[in-house]
Structure 1
Amino acid sequence: MTSPQASLNGKVTVAQTPLDANPVGNFLQETIALTRRLFIQLQRRPSTLIAGIIQPLMWLILFGALFQNAPQGLFGDNVNYGQFLGAGVIVFTAFGGALNAGLPVMFDREFGFLNRLLVAPLSSRYSIVAASAIFITAMSLIQTAAIVAMSAFLGAGLPDALGLGLVALIVLLLVVGVTALSLGLAFFLPGHIELIAVIFVTNLPLLFASTALVPLSFMPMWLQWVATLNPLSYAIEPIRYIYLHDDWSLNSIVMQAPWGQVTLGAALLILLGFAAVVLLSIQPRLRRSLA
């Protein structure tokens, strides 16, 4: 069996291993090599990561300043807008990065590199997808750490270690689902122009139809229903609750939806279900594309 390894120039070379000697080991080796390739590309173009960190920090600072004179109690008891906004910025930044996950795969398709991988004797072509998912997840966690640090610096506070771990888990569940959706679109759509169009059309409507910028109670009833169908809201509200309450638990009510109360545990299950549904729905397309 041959498996790819990333070289210092960003290309993938092939190393000889016994045929089917260790399928799991071969899959991991291929995934690591392809993930290294993406990080080598990032090292050559660090502006991508820098911009990905600066943009949400600008959102946090500018939007926080814009509403800093809002009446006390407008966003909750003893809660300023900076504290309220932090969760929305974390989630929307992770969502935006995950939605762009399909672009590198799409460019590999258009430049012919993906065809080279598909004809290579990989133990599993799903390593191509796994590498992209790992890369995007790592980028999202780096961005999340930067936002959490800036929020703490601006006075929004900092959850305890368990709370930070739960924030990372929530971000991870959202990123897995949205990354899978983006990768599925990368294999379904004809070119990067169409994928970019989907990203542009999707980004802002999902932002404004969520609880990222305003509480659910501020919205008209029809928009409240839309927001409660938006998976972003089920990531934003638990993170916001963790930030604002030290005594949180899985039974804590994090959102008052028009149809009933949503607990933190229920929000996690909804995010898990969202990721599972997307992963299952893209399986047929991935099998056809990677066959």
Structure 2
Amino acid sequence: MSSTLTPRRADSIENPQLQQWKASLEESAIAHPPGVFSPAFIQETLALTRRLFIQLQRRPSTLVAGIVQPLMWLILFGALFQNVPQGLFGESQNYGQFLGAGIIVFTAFAGALNAGLPVMFDREFGFLNRLLVAPLASRFSIVVASALFIAAMSLVQTAAIVGLSAVLGAGLPNVGSLLLMGAIVLTLVLGVTALSLGLAFALPGHIELIAVIFVTNLPLLFASTALVPLSFMPGWLQFVASLNPLSYAIEPIRYLYLHPDWQFSSIVFQAPWGSVSMGLALGILVAFSLGALALIRPLISRRIA
């Protein structure tokens, strides 16, 4: 007589409560299939985003430094050029008013460029592997959570810079201008965050990622209209600055400070190849962000598959 026990199949369980639970799970899966925009995806994205905010709460110096540094730039650079003759920087009443838009955009750009560092550290410490083996509705929640966190940080920094600029005499844009300003910042942040996350999955370690960040930051700052108008630059640099996505975020924000009655057809600056309207600048920013997302999607799909 054999003493081997044959395990009972799961579908032969006679417990009515277990059968009811199993049926409810199947009905839930049919009604809300896993994937992007499903309730499970939203829940896990919010949970991963909350994790990043908990890390920020434990290290508040990161947020403090992210706010204090651009404010110091605004104060020191504004004081350095406060005696510049009026009209030298276009329609701006003073250099602080001219500089505010550049500080807003560059701060958001720098923060978004660092978005890949937490993911890179998760890779190196093994936490990312735990997420990849977890039963997630979609692993893209890892990417979306990082983007949401960086977007929230950028809005906080932008609010601080706008507030200090108003105190220093740059004025305060109206509500419609502020909303458009926020949309411009978020559009740029989306594209740069996508590129940073792509680098986090493509590069071998955080040393290489930090090197890319250091090499990229200052050249893109000086090859934009953040510090000086396009007309101050030599011809070749004007051409480079007109290809820089930062310029297409800086100039619309600068225009919003000076023109409360803006329109999408308003000309925000003169590029070497022609006039750039508000609508065209926004379109170029949107195209940049969509292009960045399309560029990194195959890479991230392979790495988190």
TM-score (norm 2): 0.89
Q: Could you say if the C-alpha distance between residues 158 and 229 of structure 1 is closer, same or farther in structure 2, counting changes exceeding 3 Å? A: same
Structure 2 equivalent of residue 142 of structure 1: 156
Structure 1 segment 102-141 matched on structure 2, within 5 A: 102-141=116-155
CA deviations 1:45-104 (Å, max 9, x no partner) are 000000000000000000000000011211124621000000000000000000000000
Query: Which residue of 63, 69, 79 corresponds with 2:83?
Result: 69
| Corresponding pairs, count | 275
Find 1:202's aligned residue among 213, 216, 241: 216
| Deviation, structure 1 residue 245 | 1.2
Q: What residue is the counterpart of 2:281 in the other structure?
A: 267
TM-score of the two chains, using structure 1 as the length reference: 0.93
Equivalent residue for 1:281? 295
Going from structure 1 to structure 2, the CA distance change for 1:189 and 1:87 (only over 3 Å counts) comes to same
Matched residue type, 2:158: T
Aligned counterparts of 1:27 and 1:236: Cα–Cα separation in 2: 34
The equivalent residue for 1:5 is none
How far apart are the structure 1 equivalents of 2:92 and 2:211?
41
* Alignment-derived partner of residue 181 in structure 1: 195
Contact 2:116 2:196 in 1 (8 A): yes
Q: Aligned with 1:251: secondary structure?
A: coil
* Secondary structure of residue in 2 paired with 1:150: helix
Aligned to 1:4: none
Percent of aligned positions with the same letter in both sequences? Answer: 76
Q: Which runs of 4+ in 1 moved over 4 A?
A: none
Q: 1:165 aligned to 2:179?
A: yes
Q: Output the CA distance in 2 between the equivalents of 1:73 and 1:18.
A: 68
Q: Distance in 2 between matches of 1:276 and 1:77?
A: 32
1:24-39 alignment runs, 5 A limit: 24-39=38-53
Secondary structure of 1:214's aligned partner: coil
Deviations 1:99-139 (A, max 9, x none): 00000000000000000000011110000000000000000
Residues 141-194 of structure 1: per-residue CA shift (max 9 Å, x gap): 000000000000111001100000000000000000000000000000000000
Q: Rg: which structure is higher?
A: 2
User: Which residue, 106, 109, 119 being the options, matches 1:92?
Assistant: 106
> Residues of 2 paired with 1:216 and 1:79: CA distance?
17
SS class of match (1:254)? strand
